[in-house]
Chains A and B, each alone.
Chain A
Amino acid sequence: MKRLTVVSLALVFCLAAVIPARAQQRDAISIVGSSTVYPFATVVAERFGKAGGFKTPKIESTGTGGGFKLFCAGVGVQHPDISNASRAIKASEFETCQKNGVTEIVEVKIGFDGIVLANSKKAPPLSFTSKDIFLALAKEVPDPKGGEALVANPYKTWKEVNPALPDVKIEVLGPPPTSGTRDAFLELAMERGALAFESLKKLSKEDAKKFQKVFASLREDGGWVDAGENDNLIVQKLVANPNAVGIFGFSFLDQNTDKIQGAKVDGHVPSFENIADGKYPLSRPLFFYVKKAHVGVIPGIQEYLAEFTSEKAWGKDGYLSEKGLIPLPEAERKKVAENVKNLVVLKEAK
């Protein structure tokens, strides 16, 4: 017993002695951030590591906001080198970065992600306008009887929203408030739908804050269901319930075309081509941000950037497009790649 205690104590001290020495160096790139960019960044990282020469980067899926928090905490090996984001960096995050000495950040736009509304193959295909989406999902909508007043959402079925839609109960499974996909959905679909009303358009000019509250408040009477972060689960629920509509990233539609179908939005189907052309309205750019101070300190950052921005990765027929990333237009790809090569630093956040 005594020996056991002595041995384990010795081990503990050995460990404690070893760690601080090791903590001062790092030979693999450390990446944090968005779970939407994660499936793409990991593919690049894996290929980059397999090609030899450098260790495979470590990628944490922390969410966009969580990623920036870690990324902007400072310069040094204990802080990550790259942060993935499903939206551009916010001014407040940029400021935090500056304050903590992360003054030089390189922004890399990598492509688009479509947000799809889909339902089961067993049900007829749907076609929404963004106005329909707003009317079906907002907590308060303009009074259907006329007038400018906002009333609690009275619509129970899709048919009440738009006579062209089927007569089934409104039931939409969507991402929870912590998700970047939800933020993007609110901005792309709900805001667009709200602006289709004259009264709300006026409101947006007069009182932006109140307008934000109108389009960003989703109904809480069961029409909208927070379905958790797991998009595979939403797909399964759609298969089980043909009346439900689900909201998730394009790659999940792409993988499950035998079970579910994407709804048209404003007349366009969510297809690879339509998202790339910018015809399909619900698409958002994806980014990652690089700490310039770490380039040259952590081995392989520049090579990783080169791999990510190579045509065989993010090009039209690149391996990222096979994973569901919608590439940028060719001219923009060239421009971004050029900026990345020269490590052009971001001046300010939008």
Chain B
Amino acid sequence: MSKTQGHPRAGKTPENSRTIAVVRASLPRRYRSERRFRLLGLAAVVLSLGFLALMFASLLANGVSAFRQTEIRLPVHFDPEVLHAEALAQADYGQLIRASLGRLFPDVEGRRERRELAALVSSAAVYDLRDLVMRDPGVIGQTREVWLKAGADIDMAVKGHFRRDLPEAERRVSDRQFAWLERLAAEGRLEKRFNRTFFTAGDSREPEQAGIWGAVSGSFFTLAVTLMLSFPIGVAAAVYLEEFARKGRITDLIEVNINNLAAVPSIVFGLLGLAVFLNFLHLPRSAPLVGGLVLTLMTLPTIIIAGRSALKSVPPSIREAALGVGASRMQTVLHHVLPLALPGMLTGTIIGMARALGESAPLLMIGMVAFIVEIPKGFTDPATVLPVQIYLWADSPERAFVERTSAAILVLLAFLVVMNAGAIWLRKRFERRW
């Protein structure tokens, strides 16, 4: 420094011009290395975006077709001979469907052929007919055109998942069935319609009857418990540790433990939940309440860590000013520090919740990996959650579950995107910079 001060026009000295020459000579190399570095960074971004796009594309390609379901329009005669007014719920609705198909295809004979014909319509369609009659007993005696779900294999065939050029024995839809489908399509009796069942039904072993509403409700109840417990507890813990606790050995120990807990594999929390909530407290198995408690344990560290860093980012001048005008420490925290830190805490909470939404491993231990048809109505009803539903469908042998698995993943991703977007919006909206 002193040297340059001694020579106000430093550029002229021979020593300096040599430095400049060296710098000049090295400039292209330095530019090159910077370009390389930027390119590497860009390549990393492009690569990860590429994988993301690939995942989305394959999910969409596989899953979008599940949002539509093949249905067949049949002229169903609600035969009073079959439907006795006193036992509508137990009536043989399958007979109505078989009779209707028989009228459409009068030349079908033989047991085997009739079975194939009956297989065009889903075995679960009888329940739709039953519901229709129960809602409106006036239809008895009439003939109505009714859209009924096609069987899962038929649905797959219409969507082009079975190749017709294979030998007949190697596909699950016979030549006869293909011919019938062609005739139905020509008569306008075959259509791919919006798959409402997928969004309104619970789980089912018949793919055409399976829906995600049960799992979505289960996820909702589970996350409600998690949010109700983990947010207040997490915020209180963060405020105490950051604002009130005396810094010392014990708080250090607690901090290390919290950071460790945040990195513990989630299945461990499931084991803990099994030991404490089920075996010791005797809470019901498979209940969203227990699932929520387990996920609370899992998300608490995340929320506490995010909460503490949000509190840390509130400048000390705010606290000092509040204390200076005579506020108590509690008033300082509740009236000034906490409102300013809350957006950051909320962001942390939402990210923690999004992680909890995608979690399935800890729920295995407490019995939430289960086949549950009925849609849960409360915190103690048996329930499952979205990721578990995906796992169960992915493991099912039926072909039609492949597209439903992808569709369920799309729904889960949609929820995650909404939650994360919400976190970003909150941050943008309320964040204060100093």
A residues engaging B (CB < 8 A)? 1-2, 4-5, 8-9, 11-12, 15, 18-20, 22-23, 26, 28, 30, 32, 35, 38-39, 41-43, 45-46, 49-52, 55-56, 58-62, 78, 121, 229-232, 249, 251-252, 254-258, 319, 323-324
Selected A-B contacts with CB under 8 Å, 8 pairs: A1-B334, A18-B379, A19-B289, A28-B374, A39-B396, A78-B278, A256-B399, A323-B205
Contact partners of B67 in chain A: CB under 8 A: none
A interface footprint on B179-206 (CB within 8 Å = 1, 0 otherwise): 0000000000000000000000000111
Once A55-B374, A232-B397, A258-B171 are accepted as A-B contacts, the answer to whether A2 and B334 lie under 8 Å apart by CB is yes
Once A11-B228, A45-B373 are accepted as A-B contacts, the answer to whether A60 and B399 lie under 8 Å apart by CB is no
CB of B416 closer than 8 Å to a CB of A: no
Q: How many B residues touch A, CB cutoff 8 Å?
A: 47
Chain A: CB-nearest residue to B402: A232
CB of B107 closer than 8 Å to a CB of A: no
CB of B178 closer than 8 Å to a CB of A: no
CB of B372 closer than 8 Å to a CB of A: yes
Beyond the given A60-B367, A256-B399, please list 7 additional residue pairs across the A-B interface where CB-CB is below 8 A.
A22-B284, A39-B397, A46-B371, A50-B373, A229-B395, A232-B396, A255-B398
Chain B at the A interface: SS class: loop
Once A1-B334, A43-B205 are accepted as A-B contacts, the answer to whether A257 and B397 lie under 8 Å apart by CB is no
Min Cβ gap B406→A in Å is: 12
Once A15-B379, A319-B123 are accepted as A-B contacts, the answer to whether A231 and B285 lie under 8 Å apart by CB is no
Contact partners of A257 in chain B: CB under 8 A: 169-172
A interface footprint on B104-141 (CB within 8 Å = 1, 0 otherwise): 00000000000000000001000100000000000000
CB of B286 closer than 8 Å to a CB of A: yes
Min Cβ gap B369→A in Å is: 6
Q: Are B373 and A46 in contact (CB under 8 A)?
A: yes
Contact partners of A59 in chain B: CB under 8 A: 370-371
The distance in angstroms between the C-alpha atoms of A324 and B127, with both chains bound, is: 23
Chain B: CB-nearest residue to A324: B397
The distance in angstroms between the C-alpha atoms of A232 and B372, with both chains bound, is: 22
Residue from A4, A39, A61 within 8 A of B205 (CB atoms): A39
CB of B9 closer than 8 Å to a CB of A: no
- Among B127, B170, B397, chain A packs the most CB atoms within 10 A around the CB of B397
Q: Are A232 and B170 in contact (CB under 8 A)?
A: no
Q: Are A255 and B399 in contact (CB under 8 A)?
A: yes
Contact partners of A78 in chain B: CB under 8 A: 278, 282, 284-285
Q: Are B283 and A23 in contact (CB under 8 A)?
A: yes
CB of B229 closer than 8 Å to a CB of A: yes
Q: Are A258 and B162 in contact (CB under 8 A)?
A: yes
CB of B174 closer than 8 Å to a CB of A: no
**CB neighbors of A among B193-231 (8 A):** 204-206, 225, 228-229, 231
CB of B338 closer than 8 Å to a CB of A: yes
Contact partners of B229 in chain A: CB under 8 A: 8, 12
Residue from B170, B285, B371 within 8 A of A258 (CB atoms): B170
CB of B236 closer than 8 Å to a CB of A: yes
A interface footprint on B297-340 (CB within 8 Å = 1, 0 otherwise): 00000000000000000000000000000000000001000100
Chain B: CB-nearest residue to A317: B115
Contact partners of A41 in chain B: CB under 8 A: 371
The distance in angstroms between the C-alpha atoms of A2 and B335, with both chains bound, is: 11
